[in-house]
Amino acid sequence: MAFPHRLDAPELPDFSMLKRLARDQLIYLLEQLPGKKDLFIEADLMSPLDRIANVSILKQHEVDKLYKVENKPAVSSSEQLCFLVRPRIKNMRYVASLVNADKLAGRTRKYKVIFSPQKFHACEMVLEEEGVYGDVSCDEWAFSLLPLDVDLLSMELPEFFRDYFLEGDQRWINTVAQALHLLSTLYGPFPNCYGIGRCAKMSYELWRTLEEEEDGETKGRRPEIGHIFLLDRDVDFVTALCSQVVYEGLVDDTFRIKCGSVDFGPEVTSSDRSLKVLLNAEDKVFNEIRNEHFSNVFGFLSQKARNLQAQYDRRRGMDIKQMKNFVSQELKGLKQEHRLLSVHIGACESIMKKKTKQDFQELIKTEHALLEGFNIRESTSYIEEHIDRQVSPIESLRLMCLLSITENGLIPKDYRSLKTQYLQSYGPEHLLTFSNLRRAGLLTEQAPGDTLTAVESKVSKLVTDKAAGKITDAFSSLAKRSNFRAISKKLNLIPRVDGEYDLKVPRDMAYVFSGAYVPLSCRVIEQVLERRSWQGLDEVLRLLNCSELAFTDMTKEDKASSESLRLILVVFLGGCTFSEISALRFLGREKASMMLFCCPPVAS
């Protein structure tokens, strides 16, 4: 296989500690409401909860019945109600309506709301406004880091991307800073910190503040992880918009990996039941193919299947004693492998079926053309046709965004016609979607640059200095160009290939996109780690609109072991894709180091 495990790879920190911590905290919180109680759980907290606890643990702590938080009246007859929710306004209204309904009925119960990962003042305000503030007690379950795999942590903040990158709301920055703080208390301080992006910078600053407040906390600890890299998603939207072709990425694009597990439907299991499968390093078959380009996966699986067959066949010439040994020692392992193989073969088939149905080849071809910047007209009409045929609305948007970012915005004529057709195909209310994408800078119209600067300088003259700065800020965010072509050239993102790119023996990170493109985010990380600074990357930073937003911080203390210096934690603020994870795993292997990841779930 292309990715043999390197013997000299550094040992990974024990992330399972985070799980135990979260579980202990939850138990502690449940015990704050002694006696039998019913627990209402928010739907999107269920999967994370499943990863760290189970019902019997809840039962042990006197949780009687479990309910999902839904927008309907509670049928619970318990005297104590506990709500495990995200800090969302609608949840507060829900709780308030339950409490107020009880009050009307003259019923008194105890209510407790546990916010995960933290409570917001706006939530308390709603409780106060609804007149239930004192009736409900509020607690926080600071469960912000969920280990999904040996090298992958997830922050599980589904709103992070939208709140920050669209609305400009910084309320999760504290959560991020707290999570980083927790990591440094558990695994020692990080001797080398790098970051790029506004959110990264703010998170870093707040994190530093927390560390200073609790000075001494991490002092004297030996660092376990040598480097940490914070990266804002908006530094590189392009990579997140490309179709994934490594196995894990394809599984995610096709079936959606949630919290490290996936639901394979009947079409995969070839039975009438769905199967929930945990996807991590413990699945030996998966672990060998997860980072592989899809074209290699079939060959690998069929080889595996043949080997398995051969091992089964061995039992033919066996005598009774050998057979007994075989059954007691090997059969179980073989059966397990058999089960895993059939699941992944089923998944592959299903992926193939879906992808051939939707002209995957043509889609990929269009994406590559957009990345390389040729045949723009052809790509545009491909997108148009995609829309006209009412193929997946998300896919159409994804392509339009990719076109927009790689081209610094759409030509006004194209923008208008694509938008009109989109609204006709998928519904007029998507007018709002377009407005959102424009605000997030994902889908824009080319604006004549000069006009903007002229307006800007005019306005600037009219207002005071301080305000002028702010206005320039506002304008520059509007005028923020993606400069993808120039960056791509500067960082050599489109590898020059003589002949075929051998996907079996990848040469660089571009293999995760069939050799056509090195993920921008990963390239930036690679360059900085090589230099141990941003030195010499000024031009790149300027093009990324991040001249003021890149930082490095190195501690002089030389306590870090060489082992720890080979461990790098990369934090994607706003989510990352499995393609990026695979690319960085590749980079880690090349450099005999190990990448760890930490990210809110993939945003799209």
Partner 1 sequence: MNRTKGDEEEYWNSSKFKAFTFDDEDDELSQLKESKRAVNSLRDFVDDDDDDDLERVSWSGEPVGSISWSIKETAGNSGSNQEGREQLKSRNSFSSYAQLPKPTSTYSLSSFFRGRTRPGSFQSLSDALSDTPAKSYAPELGRPKGEYRDYSNDWSPSDTVRRLRKGKACSLERFRSLQDKLQLLEEAVSMHDGNVITAVLIFLKRTLSKEILFRELEVRQVALRHLIHFLKEIGDQKLLLDLFRFLDRTEELALSHYREHLNIQDPEKRKEFLKTCIGLPFSAEDSAHIQDHYTLLERQIIIEANDRHLESAGQTEIFRKHPRKASILNMPLVTTLFYSCFYHYTEAEGTFSSPVNLKKTFKIPDKQYVLTALAARAKLRAWHDVDALFTTKNWLGYTKKRAPIGFHRVVEILHKNSAPVQTCRDLKDRQQLLAYRSKVDKGSAEEEKIDAILNSSQIRWKN
Return the residue of 385, 411, 452, 501 that touches partner 1, per CB under 8 A: 385
Return the residue of 102, 150, 171, 287 that touches partner 1, per CB under 8 A: 171
Tokens coding 447: 């604006």
- What residues numbered 217-246 form the site for partner 1, per CB under 8 A? 217-218, 220-221
Return the residue of 213, 272, 450, 530 that touches partner 1, per CB under 8 A: 213
Residue with tokens 């008194």: 108
Q: Residue 287: which of 585, 571, 558 has the closest Cα?
A: 585
Find how far residue 365's CA is from the centre of its chain.
26
Tokens coding 566: 């080979």
- What residues numbered 510-529 form the site for partner 1, per CB under 8 A? none
Contact flag: residue 4 with partner 1 (CB under 8 A) = no
For residue 420, count CB atoms less than 10 angstroms from its CB and return exposed for 0-12, middle for 13-18, buried for 19 or more: exposed
What is the closest distance, in whole angstroms, from the C-beta atom of residue 434 to partner 1 in the complex?
9
CB neighbours of 199 closer than 8 A, spacing ≥ 6?
Answer: 164, 170, 173, 176, 232, 573, 574
What is the closest distance, in whole angstroms, from the C-beta atom of residue 74 to partner 1 in the complex?
19
Return the residue of 3, 64, 110, 349 that touches partner 1, per CB under 8 A: 110
Cβ-based nearer residue to partner 1, 137 or 527: 137
CA distances to 181, 182, 183, 241, 557 from 216, in Å: 13, 14, 15, 43, 15
CB neighbours of 408 closer than 8 A, spacing ≥ 6?
Answer: 446, 481, 482, 483, 484, 485
Cβ-based nearer residue to partner 1, 293 or 355: 355
Contact flag: residue 559 with partner 1 (CB under 8 A) = no
CA distance 302 to 347: 14
Q: Residue 512: which of 591, 577, 602 has the closest Cα?
A: 577
Contact flag: residue 360 with partner 1 (CB under 8 A) = no
Return the residue of 1, 6, 11, 24 that touches partner 1, per CB under 8 A: 24
- What residues numbered 54-73 form the site for partner 1, per CB under 8 A? none
Contact flag: residue 89 with partner 1 (CB under 8 A) = yes
3-state per-residue secondary structure call for 450-507: HHHHHHHHHHHHHCCHHHHHHHHHHHHHHHCCCCHHHHHHHCCCCCCCCCCCCCCCCC
Q: Which amino acid is at 167?
A: E
Return the residue of 119, 227, 585, 589 that touches partner 1, per CB under 8 A: 119
What is the closest distance, in whole angstroms, from the C-beta atom of residue 44 to partner 1 in the complex?
17
What is the closest distance, in whole angstroms, from the C-beta atom of residue 435 to partner 1 in the complex?
5
Cβ-based nearer residue to partner 1, 177 or 568: 177
Tokens coding 403: 């076109």
Per-residue mark of binding to partner 1, 180-209 (x: CB under 8 A): -----xx---------------xx-xx--x
On the CB side of 317, CA atoms within 13 Å amount to 3
DSSP 8-class letter at 306:
H
The size of the interface with partner 1 (CB under 8 A), counted in residues, is 76
Contact flag: residue 137 with partner 1 (CB under 8 A) = yes
Cβ-based nearer residue to partner 1, 54 or 424: 424
- What residues numbered 470-489 form the site for partner 1, per CB under 8 A? 470, 473-474
Cβ-based nearer residue to partner 1, 319 or 465: 465
Cβ-based nearer residue to partner 1, 64 or 590: 64
Contact flag: residue 270 with partner 1 (CB under 8 A) = no
What is the closest distance, in whole angstroms, from the C-beta atom of residue 380 to partner 1 in the complex?
14
- What residues numbered 431-450 form the site for partner 1, per CB under 8 A? 431-432, 435
Q: Which stretch binds partner 1 (CB under 8 A): 19-27, 242-250, 536-544, 568-576?
A: 19-27
**Contact predicate 434/446, CB 8 Å:** no
Cβ-based nearer residue to partner 1, 24 or 557: 24
Other Cβ atoms less than 10 A from the Cβ of 443: the count is 24
Q: Please, which residues bridge with residue 80 across strands?
A: 110
Cβ-based nearer residue to partner 1, 204 or 237: 204
CA distance 173 to 220: 27
Cβ-based nearer residue to partner 1, 21 or 376: 21
Contact flag: residue 424 with partner 1 (CB under 8 A) = yes
Q: Which stretch binds partner 1 (CB under 8 A): 128-136, 450-458, 523-531, 538-546?
A: 128-136
Q: Please, which residues bridge with residue 63 across strands?
A: 37
Contact flag: residue 174 with partner 1 (CB under 8 A) = yes
Contact flag: residue 53 with partner 1 (CB under 8 A) = no
3-state secondary structure of 219: coil
Helices (H) and strands (E) in the chain, counts: 27, 14
Contact flag: residue 386 with partner 1 (CB under 8 A) = no
Q: Which stretch binds partner 1 (CB under 8 A): 138-146, 273-281, 450-458, 591-599?
A: 138-146
Contact flag: residue 378 with partner 1 (CB under 8 A) = no
On the CB side of 281, CA atoms within 13 Å amount to 9
Cβ-based nearer residue to partner 1, 340 or 423: 423
Return the residue of 10, 13, 15, 29 that touches partner 1, per CB under 8 A: 29
CA distances to 208, 377, 397, 486 from 419, in Å: 44, 16, 10, 27
- What residues numbered 323-352 form the site for partner 1, per CB under 8 A? none
CB neighbours of 537 closer than 8 A, spacing ≥ 6?
Answer: 524, 527, 528, 531, 550
Report the run of H or E that residue 223 belongs to, with start and end.
none
Contact flag: residue 389 with partner 1 (CB under 8 A) = yes
- Residue 275 phi, psi dihedral angles, 5° rounding: -130, 125
- What residues numbered 404-423 form the site for partner 1, per CB under 8 A? 416, 419-421, 423
Q: Does a cis peptide bond (omega within 30 degrees of 0) precede residue 117?
A: yes
